[in-house]
Amino acid sequence: MSNGASPDRPRALWAAALLPPALWAAQGTIGWYVGGHGCPALEPGWSPRVVRILLQLLTVAAAAVVAALALLAWRRRQRLEGDGIAAAASERAHFVATLATVAGVTLLLGLVLAGLPSVMVQTCGQAR
């Protein structure tokens, strides 16, 4: 296979395992930065509505990428299990596919839970 996901070189699987934590961290970091600009005490302050929309779009985009990567890893894992080859390279690819599946599912939930405050909670303590 020329896409880098062959059993001896599971590059796409490593990307599927390492990209969800990076997206989760980016969503959290960018979320704090953008959320902080919605406070009226900061100059220049952004509209709270714009802040909420930006955070929701960021969450949806990150969740879509993580879901696609988790699906890719799960399908690859299922294909490797169906092949029944017990070679060391195949075992390594199976391990990385399993790792990517677990990371994808776990961090998809993390992204959704981290994005919920942008839907339900107003910024800067305005909900008090």
pLDDT bracket for residue 1 (50, 70, 90): very low
Q: What is the pLDDT of residues 62-119, one digit of tens each?
A: 899 999 999 988 988 888 877 666 666 678 888 888 999 999 999 999 888 888 877 7
Query: With 60 as the cut, is the pLDDT of residue 32 above it?
Result: yes
In the chain, where are the structural domains located? Answer: 11-120
**pTM score of the predicted model:** 0.72
- CB-based contacts of 8, cutoff 8 Å, min separation 6: 89, 93
CA distance 11 to 4: 5
Whole-number pLDDT of residue 2: 44
**pLDDT digit string, tens, across residues 104-118:** 999 999 888 888 877
The pLDDT, as a whole number, for residue 43 is 62
Q: Which helix or strand (DSSP H or E) is residue 8 part of?
A: none
pLDDT of res. 105: 92
What is the enclosing helix (H) or strand (E) of 6?
strand 5-6
- Give per-residue pLDDT as tens, 8-19: 457 788 888 899
